[in-house]
C-alpha cells in the first residue's frame, strides 16, 4: 500500500489495512472515527535547573572578576618620554678547582676520582617472584539469556503475497559471576654493592667579578685565570631612566645593541601599561 505500507494480495483493489484504493483515481467510502486528542500534560519543571543556572552565573561573575582586572592592568598607552640616564652592569662568576671527598656506589663514581676505600653494603631490596596463589573474585560479565526475532525484510512469494523475513538475535544481560585467577607471590631479595669513598677535583663558584657604568660602552670585568681558576657563567643587565608626563620610569633594553642605540636627552616613544611598566621603546 502506498499510503500505509502494508502488504496486500495482488488482486486486492483496496488495502485490507487502511482501506485506501490501490488505484488513487478510484474512491471508496470509508468511515473514520476521529479520536479525541488528549489534553497536553504540563511538564514538571526540570530538577536541578536552578542550581545549574546559579553555578553558571557564579562562573561568569568569577571569570569577569579575574579576567577584567588583568585586561585593565595590561592595557597600554604611548607617551613621549625623554631619556635622563643610562646604566649597565656586567658580572662573571669566578670558579676555583676544589679537591673534595665524596661517597657513591661503585658504578656512580666519576672518572678521574681517587679511590680512598671501598665497603660492601646493602644497596637495596628487590622483589623476586616465587610462585602464585589461586584466588577468586567477582566480576560483571554479559551472559546470553535467550534470543529474539528481528525483522530484516520481506520475500516476494510470486503469487501476490509477501512473507516477512526474520533472524534470531541473541539477548544478553549483565550478571555477577565468580572467576579464579592467579596472584603472584614474592620474596624480598637483598642487593649488595660496593660503596666507594673517593677524592676528586671539582669546579666551584667562589666569587663574582663585576663591572658597571653609565656610559655607552659596556665592558666585561677582568678575571685573572690560572690552572685552578677559570671564568664561569656571565650575566649582563641594562637600564634606561625615562621621564614622561612628569613621572619617572625605567626601561630595560634586551641587548647591548639596543642599549647603545639610545642616548641621554633623546626623545622617544614609550609604551606604558597601567601598572607603570614600560613595555616597549621606540626612537
163-173 per-position pLDDT tens digit: 889 999 999 99
Above 50 in pLDDT, residue 252?
yes
DSSP conformation letters of 170-181: EEEEEEEEEEEE
Q: 29-39 pLDDT, tens per residue?
A: 443 444 445 55
Residue 2 in domain? yes
Q: How many domains does the chain have?
A: 3
183 and 138 within one domain: yes
pLDDT at residue number 43: 55
47-51 mean pLDDT: 61
Give the pLDDT band of residue 5 (cuts 50, 70, 90).
Answer: confident
Would you tell me how many other CB atoms lie within 10 Å of the CB of residue 193?
A: 15
Domain that holds residue 176: 100-199
C-alpha 31/C-alpha 4 separation (Å) is 17
pLDDT at residue number 2: 74
- Contact call for residues 101 and 196 (beta carbons, < 8 A): no
Q: How do strand 76-105 and strand 229-244 relate by DSSP bridges?
A: antiparallel
Residue 127 in domain? yes
Residue 125 in domain? yes
- Please give the distance of CA 62 from its chain centroid, rounded to a whole number: 22
Cell of 232: 664561569
SS3 assignment, position 19: coil
7 and 141 within one domain: no
133 and 3 within one domain: no
43 versus 171: the higher-pLDDT residue is 171
Residue 1 in domain? yes
Highest mean pLDDT among 13-17, 42-46, 80-84, 159-163: 80-84
Q: What is the CA radius of gyration of the chain?
A: 45
149 and 277 within one domain: no
SS3 assignment, position 157: coil
Which residue do the cell numbers 579575574 mark? 66
Beta-bridge partners for 278: 272
- Contact call for residues 95 and 204 (beta carbons, < 8 A): yes
- Average pLDDT over the chain reads 86
Above 90 in pLDDT, residue 202?
yes
Above 80 in pLDDT, residue 15?
no
pLDDT at residue number 29: 42
Domain boundary among the residues 170, 199, 228 is at 199
pLDDT at residue number 72: 58
Residue 70 in domain? no
Cell of 213: 657604568
HEC string for 66-127 = HHHHHHHHHCEEEEEEEEEEEEEEEEEEEEEEEEEEEEEEHHHCCCCCEEEEEEEEEEEEEE
Q: 128-159 pLDDT, tens per residue?
A: 999 999 999 999 988 888 999 998 899 888 88
129 and 82 within one domain: no
pLDDT at residue number 31: 39
Amino acid at each position: 500500500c502506498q499510503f500505509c505500507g502494508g502488504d496486500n494480495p495482488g488482486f486486492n483493489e483496496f488495502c485490507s489495512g487502511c482501506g485506501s484504493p490501490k488505484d488513487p483515481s478510484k474512491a471508496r467510502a470509508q468511515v473514520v472515527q476521529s479520536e479525541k486528542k488528549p489534553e497536553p500534560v504540563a511538564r514538571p519543571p526540570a530538577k536541578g535547573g536552578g542550581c545549574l543556572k546559579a553555578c553558571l552565573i557564579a562562573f561568569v561573575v568569577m571569570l569577569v572578576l579575574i579576567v577584567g582586572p588583568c585586561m585593565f592592568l595590561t592595557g597600554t598607552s604611548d607617551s613621549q618620554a625623554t631619556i635622563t640616564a643610562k646604566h649597565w652592569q656586567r658580572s662573571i662568576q669566578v670558579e676555583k678547582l676544589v679537591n673534595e671527598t665524596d661517597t657513591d656506589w661503585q658504578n656512580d663514581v666519576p672518572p678521574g676520582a681517587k679511590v680512598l676505600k671501598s665497603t660492601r653494603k646493602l644497596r637495596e631490596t628487590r622483589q623476586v617472584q616465587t610462585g602464585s596463589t589461586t584466588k577468586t573474585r567477582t566480576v560483571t560479565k554479559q551472559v546470553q539469556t535467550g534470543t529474539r526475532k528481528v525483522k530484516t525484510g520481506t520475500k516476494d512469494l510470486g503469487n501476490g503475497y509477501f512473507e516477512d523475513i526474520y533472524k534470531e538475535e541473541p539477548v544478553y544481560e549483565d550478571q555477577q559471576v565468580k572467576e579464579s585467577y592467579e596472584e603472584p607471590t614474592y620474596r624480598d631479595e637483598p642487593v649488595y654493592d660496593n660503596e666507594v669513598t673517593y677524592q676528586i677535583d671539582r669546579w666551584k663558584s667562589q666569587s663574582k667579578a663585576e663591572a658597571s657604568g653609565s656610559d655607552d660602552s659596556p665592558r666585561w670585568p677582568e678575571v685573572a685565570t690560572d690552572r685552578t681558576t677559570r671564568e664561569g657563567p656571565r650575566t649582563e643587565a641594562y637600564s634606561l631612566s625615562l621621564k614622561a608626563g612628569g613621572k619617572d620610569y625605567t626601561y630595560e633594553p634586551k641587548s647591548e645593541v639596543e642599549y647603545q642605540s639610545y642616548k641621554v636627552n633623546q626623545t622617544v616613544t614609550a609604551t606604558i601599561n597601567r601598572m607603570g611598566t614600560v613595555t616597549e621603546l621606540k626612537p
